[in-house]
Structure 1
Amino acid sequence: MLNLIELEQFVAFSKYGTLSKVSKLMNISQPTLTRNMKHVEDSFGVSLFARRKNKLSLNETGIKAVEYAKQLLKDEKNAILMVQEFDRKLHSITISSCAPAPLWLLSPKLSTAYPDYTISSSICDTDKVISDVKSDVIDVGILPYKYIDDSFYVTPFFTEHLSVCIPYEHELYKKDTLTFDELNGYNCLLRDQLGFWTNLCKRKMPASKFLIQTDESEFLELVRSSTLFCFTTNFGTYPDGFLENRKIIPVTDKAANVTYYLVWKKEKAYRF
């Protein structure tokens, strides 16, 4: 029977050419290595080496055996990774969301319900959320609308309301409500990683320019010092008192008030 450790030594011999080099590199005595090479040969049941005085080399069959040995070793590593990945999936729940706020609520809820599981999450566009749930790339998806599919459980999660944070010196600060039409044409600050909200604002405000910030500390500093407005929601995460010099005005468009839905395959009996 083939031994994987001996096959590694066999492949190493094909690479380095001498038993002494393999002995030093793999920290194994040369007599033991010689016995192992003989055992590999016996396991294949054919001659693999050309033996001359003080010289051992692979014959033509041995060279072919090395190719198969490499594939066996590769298959062994892949098998280990696949089994580990399978076990990981049995003890993990993966979530993809169209926006960040649902993850802030769902991740801790799942951690409480499944304390022995690893909870991982990501933000991506709605089409990818759906395709990843269907293909089992993820376990739970979060969408900004109700998705109908007989193979899915679909349940409402919560509603998020968009508002703008208007500096008091801004000409819109006297408003009590605003629409995207009224905001269109004004430039604003925008944090990245907002999921579908980013595309929504760009689509609804085509005449506006958006100063998108990837670094949170730089974004907060601009919010503190800039005269540009920014966005928040009823689940906004600005530090306490940070927006005291700005007026929070709700956006009344239907598109700015979003109910999120959880979707997952019916064979996965999660508790939310």
Structure 2
Amino acid sequence: MEQNLSQYKIFYEVAKAGNISKAAKELYISQPAISKAIGKLEDSLGLSLFTRSSRGVQLTSEGEILFEHAREAFEALERGEQELRRIQEFDIGHLRIGVSNTLCKYILLPYLKTFIDQYPHMKVTIESQSTVQTLNRLEQQKIDLGLVAEPSLRKDLSFIPVMDIQDIFVSTRAYLENLYLREGSDTNIFETGNIMLLDENNMTRHHVDEYMAENAIFPHQILEVTTMDLLIEFAKIGLGVACVIRELVQKELDTGVLVEIPLQNSISRRTIGFAYHPSNQAMALKTFLEFLY
């Protein structure tokens, strides 16, 4: 479209009014300015849009065609403005969040409950996916927010810390007793036990693998599990030694359902928080960030 949008607006208002003076009052511009704009539009299109008479102006057949399209366009713009006003008035927006199943269940849900209580008209979409996928979609700005472990290599993302977490190894007391009975009290648990870890595509698994490599821990028997919930449940039924997040099993540790396996060197703590692209100006994201603070 080579013509300035203001020329189409002037054409639209003149066509609706059927009179240049009425359109001038509606647009708060002079009649000569309107006539000049219409003339430029007609020249650029190479045809006449109006026939003039002492009673006003009337659309030509070509003008009628253009008017129908202009009417649809300006009515669509008006509906868009009304929708934006409605969004501002009722705090309506669309917040897109990426998060793993574990972090969604144990960390995100309490935040969402309070947020939705305060902003009941906000639309929220949850993408349940791996941390790697969440970080990639954040960089592509296909989602607004991600609940992830602090991304040390993603300096282009902003990060708001929420809590620190500690990865530990746990099992039932009965499992350990049976293992010591079968293998001897001085057995190396990681060499003789059934070590249960998240699958290799998981960022938590990468973190734990790095720790084990640095500390010369080489499990002989590994059971890979897709979710943290399954790891916890498998550990509780005595299937083996599971690497889990302490904060998620604190109740089981306090009640003795699970016991923590002592490590010579603790696994380094991680920080969980909300990551977002700093150039994202979506109203829903701004609202959520204000809610966090």
Q: TM-score, normalised on structure 1? A: 0.48
Q: TM-score, normalised on structure 2? A: 0.45
Compare CA radii of gyration and give the structure with the larger one.
2
